Amino acid sequence: MPREVGRQYKEILKKYIDSQSEEDLYVGQQFSRRFIEKQIAPEDVISIHKTALLELLPDLRDEVWISMDFLIEMMIHYGLTLREHQSLIRKQEILQMEMNVATKVQDTLLQTTSPNVKGLDVGWVSQPAHQMNGDYVYFLNENQHVASVAVADVMGKGIPAALCMSMIKFGMDGLEKGDTDPRAVLDIINRIVEKSVDNSMFISMFYGKYDARSSTFSYSSAGHEPALYFNAASGTFMELNAKGLLLGIKTDVVYEEHAVQMQDGDFIAMMTDGVTETRTEEGFIESESIQQLLESVRDQSAQKMAEHLYNELAGLQEYRLGDDFTIVIFKKNPEEV
Partner 1 sequence: MSYRSSVEIYTEWDIVAARQLGRNEAKKTGFGTVDQARITTAISELARNIYLYAGKGKIEIERISENGAFGIKIIASDEGPGISDLRKVMEDGYSTSGGLGAGMPGVKRLMDEFKVVSEPGVGTTITAKKWLH
The least distance separating partner 1 from the CB of residue 80, rounded to whole angstroms, comes to 5
Run of H or E including 149: strand 146-154
CB nearer to partner 1: pick between 89 and 97 = 89
H-type alpha helices, 57-153: 62-109
**Contact call for residue 30 and partner 1 (CB under 8 A):** no
Distance of closest approach, residue 205 Cβ to partner 1, in angstroms: 37
Q: Does 83 bind partner 1 (CB under 8 A)?
A: yes
Rule CB under 8 A: is residue 98 a binding residue for partner 1? no
Instruction: Classify residue 337 as exposed, middle or buried by CB count within 10 Å of its CB (0-12, 13-18, 19+).
Output: exposed
Q: Please select the residue that binds partner 1; options are 19, 21, 67, 87, rule is CB under 8 A.
A: 87
Closer residue to partner 1, CB minimum distance, 87 or 280: 87
State how far the Cα of 307 lies from the Cα of 302, in Å rounded to an integer. Answer: 9
Query: Which residue in the set 67, 81, 216, 251 belongs to the binding site for partner 1 (CB under 8 A)?
Result: 81
Nearest distance from C-beta of residue 130 to partner 1, angstroms: 22
113: how many CB neighbours lie within 10 A of its CB? 7
CB of 40 to partner 1, least distance (A): 11
Packed helices 158-173 and 62-109: angle between N→C axes, nearest 10 degrees: 20
Q: Which stretch binds partner 1 (CB under 8 A): 78-86, 113-121, 181-189, 216-224?
A: 78-86
Residue in 73, 107, 173, 335 binding partner 1, rule: CB under 8 A: 73
Interatomic CA distance for residues 174 and 190, integer angstroms: 14
Residue 192 DSSP SS3: helix
> Given the complex with partner 1, which of 91 and 243 has the nearer CB atom?
91
CA torsion sign, 313 to 319 to 322 to 327? positive
Residues 6 or more apart from 142 whose CB is under 8 A from it? 148, 176, 180
Applying CB under 8 A, the residues found at the interface with partner 1 are 43-44, 46-47, 50, 69, 72-73, 76-77, 80-81, 83-84, 87-88, 91
